[in-house]
Amino acid sequence: MKTERASSPQVVGNTAVSRSEQVTLRRGPIDEMKHPDGAIRSHCAPLREWLQAVPPAQLDQKRKEADRLFRRLGITFAVYGEAAGSERLIPFDLIPRIIPAKEWQTLAAGLRQRVAALNAFLHDLYHGQEILKAGRLPAEMIFSNPQYRVEMQGIDLPGGIYVQIAGVDVVHTGEGEFHILEDNLRTPSGVSYMLVNRRIMKRLFPELFALHPVAPVEHYPELLIETLRAAAPEGTVDPSVVLLTPGPYNSAYFEHTFLAQQMGIEAVEAQDLFVRDNKVYMRTMEGPARVDVIYRRIDEDFLDPLAFRADSVLGVPGLLSVYRSGGVAIANAVGTGVADDKAIYAYVPEMIRFYLGQEPILKNVPTYSLRNPDDRSYVLAHLNELVVKEVHGSGGYGMLIGPASTVKERELFRQRILRNPENYIAQPTLALSTCPTFVEQGIAPRHIDLRPFVLSGRTIHLVPGGLTRVALRDGSLVVNSSQGGGTKDTWVLEE
């Protein structure tokens, strides 16, 4: 592989970016509702007809009603850096994003394949490391990675599963063509929006559900509790599952209590848990109650102040030692972050080949690794065409979007890259598909992505749908809610 890299300045990750691929990626975005020639896609025809018939005033009133419902449910979101107590809504767009059955089947198969490979990779990495021995992935990328948790080495997890819940970000880049953007294997959030958006759409527009065979997503909490119970330490009878939340000041707190309520389990904070005799208990009115599975919605650095961050007040002292000896299960497992950083990302197709002996169904975005001198010189010469991301960044922060950047911003990034090249990757800008969206001037196309949630228990489950995020600013490709993104209901059509 090293020789391959050296042979071409455009070799990225372990996949050469061919000229044709570059061209593909620079092609204009596809419109979810229309063919390139302007004709309406057949699966969108009923929605389009309805949209043209419904009076704008009525839609406006429905929009206000949706806002009221979101506020009433308390699905508000605290923005970092804003005054304490201020609560904002993530904008909700009334026009659904529709995925035809065929496209979803491909997507679902690709997602299952990908998450299966990622779980196999994590198991291998923390056991025999066959993939490193086979030279299919450079070992230094693992051992220099702070997300690699040496304390997980040799620990056996039930079913060998590390990632119970993955929230994989997918973008629709061409006819029937999807690219994976990120795997999100730590504490992916957003599934409550998938569920609540659907509930609100059904309430506001029951007539639309009569026109479309929309596949249900409402059983997600049941699949989730089944998945979490399957993660319990071997031999546990009727496992006790809790959701561990950082508390009411966390921006995803609504989701935490919502899921706990839907699953009928406790939403615990770290202060509710304690360790005794190598077991985990929660403090209840009836005395200590044993905990078998922790669905953690808290970063692993804050799980146990004894193991990770002594300055943390969030953790449960001693939790990690119970975990390592099999006294409690944590989902997702500790140490999954090593498989979802943006540099390792480039090797997921290789994982699929190595562990499953299959060709990847879904595409990776070609990724330049700036630790590699050839990639680096190419990227520095083409900053205005590329997206540069921090390897461990998230939430759309720490990112340079070349085509939308100023000379000054590019210079700033050039210096950052040169100072710490391992910290960055670069990718071609993707043509994220667009979907009709309500904006101030009426209805206009806006870029969207999709986050389906993949559950891995005894089998892999996936509800047909996910969270569609939409970049509300004209031309923007950033869909993150922290940066002005909104959400839409996602309709997977049944055949």
Binding-site ranges for another protein (CB under 8 A):
71-74, 243, 247-248, 253, 256-258, 260-261, 265-269, 271-272, 274, 276, 281-288
Nearer to another protein among residue 327 and residue 464 (C-beta): 327
- How far apart CA 86 and CA 80 sit, in angstroms, is 10
Shortest CB 276 distance to another protein, Å:
7
Q: How far is the CB of 319 from another protein (least distance, A)?
A: 13
Which amino acid, one-letter code, is at 442? G
Give first-to-last CA distance, the chain, whole Å.
43
179 contacts 107 by C-beta, under 8 angstroms: no
Residue 328 or residue 426: which is nearer to another protein going by CB?
Answer: 328
Region of 446 (left: φ > 0; alpha: ψ -120 to 50; beta: rest) is beta
Closest to another protein by CB, 260 vs 425, is 260
Rounded CA-CA distance 154/136 in Å is 21
List 116's β-bridge partners, or say none.
Answer: none
Minimal distance in Å, beta carbon 258 to another protein?
8
Q: Residue 81 CB: number of other CB atoms within 10 A?
A: 6
Beta carbon nearer to another protein, 77 or 274: 274
Q: How far is the CB of 261 from another protein (least distance, A)?
A: 5
- Evaluate whether 294 touches 333 at the Cβ level (below 8 Å): no
Nearer to another protein, 317 or 445 (CB): 317
Residue whose CB is less far from another protein, 280 or 460: 280
Task: Compute the least distance from the CB of residue 273 to another protein, in Å.
Answer: 9
Give residue for tokens 């406006």: 60
- Residue 71 or 102 with smaller CB distance to another protein: 71
Decide the pairing of beta strands 241-244 and 266-268.
parallel
Question: What is the closest distance, in whole angstroms, from the C-beta atom of residue 79 to another protein in the complex?
Answer: 17
Do β-strands 241-244 and 177-182 pair in parallel, antiparallel, or remain unpaired? unpaired
User: Minimal CA–CA distance to 368: which of 381, 351, 355?
Assistant: 381
Distance CA 129, CA 281 (A): 34
> Residue 381 Cβ, how far from another protein at the closest point, in Å?
52
Dist CA 306 CA 164 (whole Å):
25
Cα–Cα distance for residue pair 467/452, rounded to 1 Å = 6
Edge-to-edge order in the sheet of strand 329-331: 266-268, 241-244, 293-296, 329-331
Bridge partners of 467? 451
Closest approach, Cβ 302 to another protein, in A, equals 18
Which of 65, 269 has the CB closer to another protein?
Answer: 269
